[in-house]
């Protein structure tokens, strides 16, 4: 019944146990998982895992953490990989991270290039935005990424900015932080995002929701995120699960 739209199941400790974990995810009501790439070395894992497991779809891209050590020519591989691997449904995760990395201009060059590739191939982008709200928004506007689709992964901005993104056609994805007791803004955002624009994600193995905060995260815990958002919106878990799953299938064309 649930779609975890962001889980790095190719990272440890999940990856080496995936054979056993996939059936437990299914048993816990997880129907689909979106696996985004981070570094170029992860692309073969994303391709093989999404090919091997029915429930897993993938995204290819280079995360801002890795652009400094990667040759931008690798992006030329994406178009043919999208053709050869039909379960690759997005470009991600890509974006800007000014919290951990100060190569701002280089990150922007990479983000713009990857937004253009997504637009050319008519696939959505999965956006990582850490302390870079204004530049992320500007680049999405300049490339005009909304028609091919925008997912704001682990959205951490204000209510006003969420409203602006929603009005432009983006999807807002919420994760573990919405379950944290002192997370005032994510809870406010969860209340205002329309039911046809909200997505849920774990960001496994990172960012585990309450009461597993600080522990290894798992796609199975997306249920806790769904339950919190359902209660904030005054809906049943089933209703929230249904809409978030339909939204994810729509944006990723599944
Ligand atoms: Zn991620």
SS3 202: coil
Neighbours of 26 (CB within 10 A): 14
Query: Would you state the pLDDT for residue 92?
Result: 96
Tokens, residue 21: 């974990």
CB 81 within 8 A of CB 112: no
Instruction: Please give the distance, rounded to the nearest whole angstrom, from the Cα atom of residue 156 to the centre of ligand 1.
Output: 13
- Regions of the chain with pLDDT less than 70: none
Instruction: Please give the distance, rounded to the nearest whole angstrom, from the Cα atom of residue 63 to the centre of ligand 1.
Output: 9
What digits encode the pLDDT tens for the residues 28-62? 999 999 999 999 999 999 999 999 999 999 999 99
Instruction: Please give the distance, rounded to the nearest whole angstrom, from the Cα atom of residue 128 to the centre of ligand 1.
Output: 7
Instruction: Please give the distance, rounded to the nearest whole angstrom, from the Cα atom of residue 7 to the centre of ligand 1.
Output: 7
Distance between CA atoms of residues 84 and 178, nearest Å: 37
Instruction: Please give the distance, rounded to the nearest whole angstrom, from the Cα atom of residue 160 to the centre of ligand 1.
Output: 24
Query: Would you state the pLDDT for residue 238?
Result: 97
Query: Would you state the pLDDT for residue 141?
Result: 97
Instruction: Please give the distance, rounded to the nearest whole angstrom, from the Cα atom of residue 84 to the centre of ligand 1.
Output: 24
Q: Which of 61, 172, 166, 58 lies closest to 115 in space, CA to CA? A: 61
Query: Would you state the pLDDT for residue 22?
Result: 98
Distance between CA atoms of residues 244 and 109, nearest Å: 32
Instruction: Please give the distance, rounded to the nearest whole angstrom, from the Cα atom of residue 127 to the centre of ligand 1.
Output: 9
pTM listed for this prediction: 0.97
Query: Would you state the pLDDT for residue 87?
Result: 98
Tokens, residue 236: 């049943």
Instruction: Please give the distance, rounded to the nearest whole angstrom, from the Cα atom of residue 188 to the centre of ligand 1.
Output: 22
DSSP H or E segment with residue 4: strand 2-4
């Amino acid at each position: 019944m649930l779609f975890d739209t962001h889980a790095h199941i190719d990272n440890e400790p999940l990856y080496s146990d995936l054979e056993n974990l996939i059936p437990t995810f299914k048993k816990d009501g997880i129907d689909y998982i979106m696996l985004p790439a981070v570094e170029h070395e992860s692309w073969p894992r994303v391709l093989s895992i999404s090919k091997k497991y029915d429930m897993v779809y993938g995204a290819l891209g280079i995360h801002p953490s890795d652009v400094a050590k990667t040759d931008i020519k690798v992006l030329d591989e994406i178009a043919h990989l999208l053709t050869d691997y039909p379960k690759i449904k997005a470009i991600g995760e890509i974006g800007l991270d000014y919290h951990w990395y100060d190569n701002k201009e280089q990150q922007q060059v990479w983000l713009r290039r990857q937004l253009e590739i997504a637009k050319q191939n008519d696939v959505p982008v999965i956006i990582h935005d850490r302390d870079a709200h204004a530049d992320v928004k500007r680049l999405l506007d300049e490339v005009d990424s909304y028609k091919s689709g925008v997912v704001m992964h682990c959205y951490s901005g204000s209510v006003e900015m969420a409203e602006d993104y929603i009005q432009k056609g983006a999807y807002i994805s919420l994760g573990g932080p919405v379950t944290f007791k002192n997370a005032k803004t994510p809870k406010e955002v969860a209340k205002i995002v329309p039911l046809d624009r909200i997505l849920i994600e774990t960001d496994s193995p990172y960012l585990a929701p309450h009461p597993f905060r600080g522990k290894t995260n798992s796609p199975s815990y997306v249920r806790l995120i769904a339950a919190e958002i359902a209660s904030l919106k005054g809906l049943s878990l089933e209703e929230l699960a249904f809409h978030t799953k339909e939204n994810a299938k729509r944006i990723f064309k599944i």
